[in-house]
Amino acid sequence: MPKVTFIEHNGTRHELDADSGLSLMEVAVANSVPGIDADCGGACACATCHVYVDESWLGKVGDKTDMETSMLDFAEGVQDSSRLACQITLSAELDGLIAQLPESQH
């Protein structure tokens, strides 16, 4: 079971056990991590599951699709490490992943 850590904008940490195969967004929502709205339910169509993936993990979480890139293009506070959490599928390889949450979702 991969472990993932969400760090809220105010610094609060949520260390969670996640099932492989779930998306990073689903893990956050299932554990009521505040700051992930996921309005579209994981369809890569709302950009309200925006997270910053720690640099060291960026190479392992897979590439962005065109759609994810377009959706992120309209999100607020986007950085190189920005990803949509619903587009990252957890696996043993991502054990230890750390994702920071932005101040707010737009």
Shortest distance in whole angstroms from residue 46 CB to ligand FES = 4
From the list 9, 13, 60, 106, which residue makes contact with other proteins (rule: CB under 8 A)? Answer: 106
Task: Give yes or no for residue 64 binding ligand FES (CB under 6 A).
Answer: no
Strand-pair partners of 3: 17
Handedness of CA 37, 26, 42, 81 (dihedral sign): positive
Identify which of residues 23 and 48 has a Cβ nearer to other proteins in the complex: 48
- Which one, 47 or 94, has the nearer CB to other proteins? 47
Place of tokens 């920005």: 82
Give, as ranges, the residues between 27 and 86 that touch other proteins (CB under 8 A): 37-41, 43-48, 67, 70-71, 73-74, 76
Using CB atoms within 10 Å of the CB of residue 56, give its burial: 0 to 12 exposed, 13 to 18 middle, 19+ buried. exposed
Distance between alpha carbon 4 and the CA centroid of its chain, in Å? Answer: 10
Residues that bind ligand FES (CB under 6 A): 25, 38-40, 42-49, 71, 84, 86
